[in-house]
A and B are shown apart, each in its own frame.
Chain A
């Protein structure tokens, strides 16, 4: 028996009722508002420790190319030449100039490595993400931010399905493993979306294109409180 794709997991969770009341969401917001200063901006990398503010790297480039493939799949474009298409997509998108320049300056050895890496990851993506129906309103690489109290929380969701009115699900596609750090990142996605829209997503899902593992977590009051306690500079209560 084949293991379920991310789409299968989302389909199973789709009709679940929302687990968070308006009162609970308000309490989460108040909890973040009560965090002490100074003013600071938090990025996903501050939560899981992956990546950094320094210049482009091969890993960052690989992640960006996988994101382009997710973007193409979100609109039903299932490429047969994944590596070429991912690079084409990255080059066509304005705002990724640094990475495109970095790509142009790769050595032949680095290019070959990237090519092999990307082929493998894209194959896993194609097999394990599944076909997401148009009716779920999928959109990829969605940026979001929430300014609450002293904090500005910034985030990018690889894939968002559903609507605020009918229930949202967030999907993170990672080239790393689904470990504790990744779970922390998923909780952060849920927290930022809750603070941004005032509605908690029903679930967050993750897919590792390196191992093919996928997981889905329900968003609960407890998980959001945990996400608040995991913000940098917040001492666990």
Chain B
């Protein structure tokens, strides 16, 4: 895997996010059908696979519960999008607007139990203040990166890819995207783990599959603002194929774990 490590100074950041000279990989219909088939082979239990599943070597995720830290990316990215698009002047105002939107959804009874809007509405005003502070910190990082990079970025939503007939969905996380879609950026907390590269490769592969019939992103850049580090991975046939293999293997691991949770480790070994 040809991962290139960068620091987070402006020169390095511009180099990491500059327009790639090559095009992204194209996944045609025949190859997409082959991907579906390889997933079907491992059963049709419902599975959700994302880069985190790959980084955790297919370990089944624990049940999801909202917490202050888990809200920061969702709220922060939405707020950053408002600032970057010029709809809000400050990050704090954008986060407050986003919090207000969630609270309104809950107040109108449009938020289902377990959703972010429902969870935020259940919190005390102080906890909502802490949620706001966390989201402001996250959104500030996103806006800061977008302002310092050479490329014109837009804040982006995640990609969801449903593989027909095999009840498997992929989620590719992306926080920033260049206007032409050639560079996608993931922003993450903490420092890169030893498996961070595999996670980036999976996100790149999923984005490439999502662009079916057209060229996918030519590069993915993972940025860890707290650690002042960035990892860039260029797209090529070998990288995308390896990413798809990882996704298939993770899907298999989840299927095995779903059928026999206690047997899964032995079977995978």
Interface residues of A, Cβ cutoff 8 Å to B: 25, 68, 71-72, 74-77, 79, 85, 88-89, 92-95, 134-135, 137-147, 163-165, 195-199
Contact = CB atoms under 8 A, between A and B. Distances in A.
A92 B126 contact: yes
Contact of A92 (B12, B127, B144, B147): B127
A135 B9 contact: no
A196 B8 contact: yes
Interface in B225-268: 226-229
Contacts of A140: 133, 137
Judged by DSSP, the binding face of A is mixed
A72 B147 contact: no
B139 to A, nearest CB: 9
Contacts of A93: 68-69, 130
B226 A145 contact: yes
Given A165-B144, A196-B8, A147 B227 contact: yes
Interface stretch (B31-39, B40-48, B89-97, B150-158): B89-97
Contacts of A135: 89-90
Given A165-B144, A196-B8, A145 B227 contact: yes
Contact of A145 (B11, B69, B95, B191): B191
A163 B137 contact: no
A123 to B, nearest CB: 18
A132 to B, nearest CB: 10
A199 B130 CA distance: 28
A92 B7 CA distance: 34
Interface residues of B, number: 37
A88 B144 contact: no
A196 B136 contact: no
Contacts, number: 110
Contacts of A199: 9-10
A74 B91 CA distance: 12
Contact of B144 (A89, A134, A164): A164
Judged by DSSP, the binding face of B is helix
B130 A74 contact: no
A140 B130 CA distance: 10
B147 A76 contact: no
26 contacts: A68-B130, A71-B130, A71-B133, A72-B129, A72-B130, A75-B92, A75-B133, A75-B136, A77-B132, A88-B127, A92-B127, A93-B69, A94-B67, A94-B68, A95-B69, A137-B143, A144-B227, A145-B228, A146-B227, A164-B148, A165-B10, A196-B226, A196-B227, A197-B8, A198-B9, A198-B228
A170 to B, nearest CB: 14
Contacts of A74: 133, 136
Interface in B80-138: 89-93, 95, 123-127, 129-130, 132-133, 136-137
Contacts of A164: 10, 144, 148
A222 B124 CA distance: 47
Contacts of A92: 68, 123-124, 126-127, 130
A74 B133 CA distance: 7
B208 interface: no
Contact of B226 (A72, A143, A195, A198): A143
Contacts of B67: 94
Contact of B228 (A77, A88, A144): A144
Nearest 4 pairs between A and B by C-beta? A198-B9, A196-B228, A92-B127, A139-B137
Contacts of A146: 227-228
Contacts of A71: 129-130, 133
A195 to B, nearest CB: 7
B129 A89 contact: yes
Contacts of A89: 126-127, 129-130
Contact of B148 (A94, A95, A165, A195): A165
Contacts of B90: 134-135, 137
Contact of A163 (B89, B129, B147): B147
B77 interface: no
Nearest to B127: A92
Contacts of A165: 10, 144, 147-148
A146 B125 CA distance: 35
Contacts of B140: 137, 139, 163
B228 A197 contact: yes
Nearest to A95: B69
Given A137-B143, A198-B7, 4 more contacts: A75-B129, A93-B69, A137-B90, A145-B227
